[in-house]
A and B are shown apart, each in its own frame.
Chain A
Amino acid sequence: MSKTIYQLVDELPTGGLTVMSLRALDFAVPGEWQNLVGFDNTIRAVTGETDPDLIRQIGERAIYLYNDKSQGYQTALWLYQTVDSASSALGAAALANKVGEKIPLLGFLGNITPKADKAQTIDLAVKLVVELVAFCQINGIPGDSIGDFLGALGDYSGESLMRMAALVCFDGLIPLGPDFIQMVLSKFNNMSPQELEQNQTFKGVNDLIPGGNSSGKLGFINESFSSVSGWMSDFVNSRGLTPNNVAKNLSSFIDVADDKLDYLGAFLDVSTNYYEHTGIQTLARRLIERAVAEI
């Protein structure tokens, strides 16, 4: 049986590689993310409510909303989980016996393979589209979704902004370098629908990407990424983000060599699940916002 929404939120980890990696991005989005965990705790933090009976009522309404499949919350969770290619085994292996010590990336070179640039550009663009689709599943806003999404993206905060920061840093800057936005745009301009179909990340979420056939989906991904590229570029420039300063902030717990950033990207890809982790936090927050307003 799949987990209940309160189990998902109650069981969010307070430590480990995903949490450490996200904390390392605090310099990019200062104070935005506090790793809020626990279902009742999230209700208290989101609504400011302290009365236990009222907290329970809000929680019960949130559970009803989540369990009603027509409301889209379960689809959003599935998207966040599926697009994260995390293999927690490697993360656990990396942390084993490493308490208080740095994780030596060199020790893992034999176990990880950096993705080819093309695969990585598809991953980045597909993850962005998943954010768009999950956003619409959680918040509704039908119609001209890309336009509404851009308006809302400007208002992203908390764990949602942290997820976007991690997308830019861990799936863009680190594996692809400072020109990652241009790289994605040019790769997508020369891509065939067959190339897209072969990508593992795309395969996982294919059914939920708008566009009909692969050619239409390629167009949708391309259009979505182009629309958000201005926001992304502004995000990188205004915060002075570079592959090196992201790596430097991760170096408090991972021993990184500057010439091995592609390996660092591959390591983060297989050892963290930041999309799922912050996705559950976003989902819980929006569910609770709705629940408290409706009761």
Chain B
Amino acid sequence: MIFRRLRRILPAFLLAVLLLVTSCRAQDTSPYAKTQQESTQRGATPAVARKAEQGSSFNKFFPKSADGYQVVAAQEKKGFAEYKLNKGGKNVAMLSINDITSTPTAKDKYQNSTEKIAGYPAAEAPGKGTGILVNNRYQVKVASRDDSFTKNDRVAWLQKFNLSGLAQLK
């Protein structure tokens, strides 16, 4: 008798506990909560597109150390390669190439700009950077990490990349 009643009550009780536990879980109130949810749900778009170029393909197009500046490898992931630009042991800028197949909205700033550097569409970029878009696919950027490194320096270093070589990368 008691067991039968228990059997009837138990599922309801467990359900109630479950609801209580889930509703008590702290809500993520961060402005990033939506991005977190979108990037972790089933079938979420991967951060890096499957067809993105390997980062190792970009290495040979970066400028070399010269004139008291050292170019030091920093990151190399699929679709992305980055080097530090140091002077006197201090990091003054970051140099990068990425395949915007993974971040297509990166293109917008070039479409909204009339500027050109070395013949390629150019634009100012977030994080004190200047970028150019090669072949509508490869974004080359120089970003200042020290106030002494000005926009003129960024433009000068962008032109030191092997841009015509990168333009031939299929």
Residues of chain A at the chain B interface (Cβ within 8 Å): 4, 6-7, 10, 39, 46-49, 51, 54, 56-61, 63-65, 67-68, 70-72, 138-142, 148, 151-152, 155, 157, 286, 289-290, 292-295
Tell me if B32 is interfacial: C-beta within 8 Å of chain A. Answer: yes
Tell me if B39 is interfacial: C-beta within 8 Å of chain A. Answer: yes
A140 near B94: Cβ-Cβ < 8 Å: no
Tell me if B82 is interfacial: C-beta within 8 Å of chain A. Answer: yes
B128 CB to closest chain A CB (Å) equals: 5
Inter-chain CA distance A58–B128, complex, in Å, is 13
A33 CB to closest chain B CB (Å) equals: 15
B47 near A68: Cβ-Cβ < 8 Å: yes
Of B75, B106, B141, which one neighbours A286 at CB under 8 angstroms?
B75
Inter-chain CA distance A74–B98, complex, in Å, is 22
The answer to whether A289 and B76 touch (CB under 8 A), given A4-B36, A48-B145, A58-B127, is no
B40 near A67: Cβ-Cβ < 8 Å: yes
A293 near B98: Cβ-Cβ < 8 Å: yes
B106 near A63: Cβ-Cβ < 8 Å: no
Of A54, A59, A148, A289, which one neighbours B82 at CB under 8 angstroms?
A289
B126 near A292: Cβ-Cβ < 8 Å: yes
6 smallest A-B Cβ distances: which pairs? Answer: A47-B127, A68-B47, A293-B96, A140-B76, A292-B127, A54-B126
The answer to whether A139 and B75 touch (CB under 8 A), given A56-B31, A289-B94, A292-B143, is yes
A58 near B126: Cβ-Cβ < 8 Å: yes
Inter-chain CA distance A140–B72, complex, in Å, is 14
Chain A residues near B32: list those with CB within 8 A. 4, 6, 39, 59-60, 63
The answer to whether A141 and B126 touch (CB under 8 A), given A4-B36, A68-B48, A289-B82, is no
Inter-chain CA distance A157–B72, complex, in Å, is 13
Inter-chain CA distance A33–B56, complex, in Å, is 31
A67 near B39: Cβ-Cβ < 8 Å: yes
Q: Classify the interface of chain A: helix, strand, loop or mixed.
A: helix
Q: Classify the interface of chain B: helix, strand, loop or mixed.
A: mixed
The answer to whether A71 and B127 touch (CB under 8 A), given A140-B55, A293-B143, A294-B80, is no
Inter-chain CA distance A71–B143, complex, in Å, is 23
- For B41, the closest partner residue in chain A by CB is A67
The answer to whether A71 and B47 touch (CB under 8 A), given A4-B36, A142-B56, is yes
Inter-chain CA distance A199–B13, complex, in Å, is 46
B148 CB to closest chain A CB (Å) equals: 13
A294 near B103: Cβ-Cβ < 8 Å: yes
Inter-chain CA distance A51–B109, complex, in Å, is 15
A63 near B39: Cβ-Cβ < 8 Å: yes
The answer to whether A51 and B73 touch (CB under 8 A), given A63-B39, A293-B80, is no
Which of chain B's residues 118-155 have a Cβ closer than 8 Å to chain A?
125-129, 139, 141, 143-145
19 additional A-B residue pairs with CB within 8 Å, beyond A49-B126, A63-B39, A293-B82:
A4-B36, A6-B36, A39-B32, A48-B145, A54-B127, A60-B35, A61-B47, A61-B103, A63-B35, A67-B36, A71-B48, A71-B77, A140-B75, A152-B73, A155-B72, A289-B74, A292-B126, A294-B106, A294-B139
Inter-chain CA distance A68–B127, complex, in Å, is 23
The answer to whether A293 and B144 touch (CB under 8 A), given A58-B126, A140-B55, is no
Chain A residues near B102: list those with CB within 8 A. 294
Complex interface bits, B38-77 against A, C-beta within 8 A gives 1, otherwise 0: 0110001111100000011000000000000000111111
